[in-house]
Every structure is written in C-alpha cells, then in structure tokens.
Amino acid sequence: MDSALIIEKSIFIVVVFAVTMLMAMYSTWAERKVAAFLQDRVGPNRAGWGGLLQPLADGLKLFAKEEFEPNTPNKFLFFVGPGIAMATALITSAVIPWGDKLELFGRTIQLQATDIDVSILYVFGVVSVGVYGIMIGGWASNNKFSLMGAVRAASQMVSYEVAMGLSIIALLMMSGSLSLHDITVQQHGMNWNIWYQPVGFLIFLICAFAETNRTPFDLAECESELIGGYHTEYSSMKMGFYLFAEYANMFISSTLISVLYFGGYNYPGMDWVGTNWGTNAATLLGIGALFAKICFFIFFYMWVRWTIPRFRYDQLMNLGWKILIPLSIINIMITGVCILAFK
C-alpha cells in the first residue's frame, strides 16, 4: 500500500469522524427546535443566531458539571460503558459509501473508508455490540432503575435485530451482494430499492427506531418509569457520551436507511451532470443528495418522537415477534417468487 493512499484514507476518516460529530451535535439542536416547532413554540434562540451555538453551550455545561460516581464495585465497567456506546456508534460509518469518486491532485479518491465485501454484516455486528455499552453502563451503575433500563434495552435490541436482519435478507436476495458499495451502484439514478421493497423498508424503519432506542420504543430510558433508565447514575461528560452516542446512532441509521433503500448518493439526472459538468460536480451533488436524505430521516425520527406516545413493553414485544418477524418472512418469500418470475 503506498503512503499516499494511507494519507488519503486518514484524512477521509478524520473528515467522516468530524462530520458525524457535527451532525450529532446539531441533531441535539435540531431535536429541540423541531420539538418546539411541533408544539407551537420557537425553541432555543438566545445562544447565537437561531440558537445555533446552543450545542456548544450544552457541551460546555456538561464539561463543567461535577463528575459523580455511584458507590459501585465496578468502577472500571462504569467508566467503560459510555466509551463502548460512543465507539460503536462511530465505527459503523467506516463502510458507508458517502459519495462516488472524486478526482483531486491527479488521484481518484473513493469516498468510502473501506469497501469490505461483507459491509452489511459488519454493520450488523457493530450494532449488536452497541447494546453492550448500554448493558454494561446500566449494570455497573448499581441502581435498580439503570438495570431495568439495561435489561429492557438488551431484550428489545435482540428481538428487533431478528426482524431487521430478515428484512435485509429480501434486499440482499435482490442485490446479490453484501457490499454497501455494490448496493448503492445498483440503485443508479432513480432505480432505488424502495420501489421494489416497500414492506422491507417499513420493517427496517421500525426496527431502526427500536435499535436506536428512539420514541416510540425508548423504553430503555423512559423517564416516567425509570427516571433516566440506563444513564440515571451518569453525569458530566459520561452522560454526554451516552446522549451523543444516541444521536450519532440516529445519524448512522438514517444514513443506512438512505443507502439501503433510497439510493445513497444517487439522484435523478446524475449521468447528465456527470457528462456536462464533470465527475467532481456530479460526486459533490451526490454527497449533497445523500445528506439531504439523511437530514430528512433525522427529521423524521424527531417528527415521530413528538407524535407517537411510547409503546407498552408487551406491545413492543408483540409487535417485534408476532407481527414484524412473520411479515418479514412473508416478504422474503414474495421476493423470492418475484425474482424467479421476473428475472
């Protein structure tokens, strides 16, 4: 491997990291703004124009808070929990194709940190490790409410990962590849997977809500029953890490939805732009298209949060095991029949 490639990848990874952090930061701002707007309020508007400096102020506040530690025998695990949550939230972005090729300084740069051919499996693997952050944190807190939250989070994630995996299988049967890059290339132009897999998309969307612990499935931290759920005992920047990881997860899962079902960086008329304005312009527009889709899904997460009340625990399990899993199996069968009939 030549050194230029290493430099190129390092820069790219740092940029992706920074963008993920920035998106997570401004998701907190957006969350408060969207919440306010949906409730006929205006939201934070004092720190900077339209409250744009609010995330910085929040971060500063979290840094300045006292670092409280409960009397727990697992000081190390208590410390490690938020780190795992944050790390797993961030390393998923490694396999996501953020754009097509860029031509800079006579080199062709692939806008993807690494194109491993089992990237979907990688994503699923990392996401399932993500639950350990919550589990360990909740368990090491030595607090009943935290433990309850952690147990809920674990069982919820395990249940919904099944349906999520099954809904992806139908997609993989169509694409014939596990690589996110190949899947994106196949959705060239407007040939998006959502037209072929609407039911699969719906199941994936619902599962994504459950996996990221967002309302209506935020039972792991439901304030009205569990105080703060798994992060009840956390304070200062450790708490900040958990909240940040949640928003980073939201960003990553929005990206995944966009890449898997909404064509990733593909947009209608990209060939025309490519031939008339050059590849770089087409790629940059593609990145813009991808981020527009991501922002829409982040907005959708918030929109749903302020619309639907929280599910009850038995309803959650019923939905996961009795509706979504059978539905995704039926979806697989129908997809199989269609592939046999039309291809």
Partner 1 sequence: MATSIQNISLSGKKKQVSNKEMTFWERLYLVAIIKGLLITIKHFFRKKATIHYPEQVREFSPVYRGKHTLKRDEQGRENCTACGLCALTCPAEAITMKAAERKKGEEHLYREEKYAEIYEINMLRCIFCGLCEEACPKDAIYLTISKELVPAQYDREDFIYGKDKLVMPLEVAMANTQKLN
Binding site for partner 1 (CB under 8 A): 34, 37-42, 45, 303-304, 306-308, 323
Residue 111 carries which DSSP code? Answer: S
The amino acid at residue 4 is: A
The amino acid at residue 122 is: Y
Kindly tell me which of 34 and 140 has the beta carbon lying closer to partner 1. 34
Kindly tell me which of 275 and 307 has the beta carbon lying closer to partner 1. 307
- What is the smallest separation between the CB atom of 330 and partner 1, expressed in angstroms? 14
Please report which residue ranges of the chain form alpha helices under DSSP H. Answer: 3-38, 54-64, 75-91, 119-140, 144-175, 180-186, 198-211, 223-226, 236-261, 270-277, 279-305, 313-317, 325-342
- What is the smallest separation between the CB atom of 204 and partner 1, expressed in angstroms? 15
Kindly tell me which of 306 and 321 has the beta carbon lying closer to partner 1. 306
- What is the smallest separation between the CB atom of 248 and partner 1, expressed in angstroms? 25
Q: Which residues contact 331 (CB under 8 A, 6 or more apart)?
A: 166, 167, 170, 197, 199, 200, 203
- What is the smallest separation between the CB atom of 47 and partner 1, expressed in angstroms? 15
Kindly tell me which of 17 and 299 has the beta carbon lying closer to partner 1. 299
Kindly tell me which of 212 and 232 has the beta carbon lying closer to partner 1. 212
Contact 163, 207 (CB under 8 A): yes
- What is the smallest separation between the CB atom of 217 and partner 1, expressed in angstroms? 13
Contact 99, 111 (CB under 8 A): yes
Q: For residues 321 and 324, what is the distance between their CA atoms, to the nearest angstrom?
A: 6
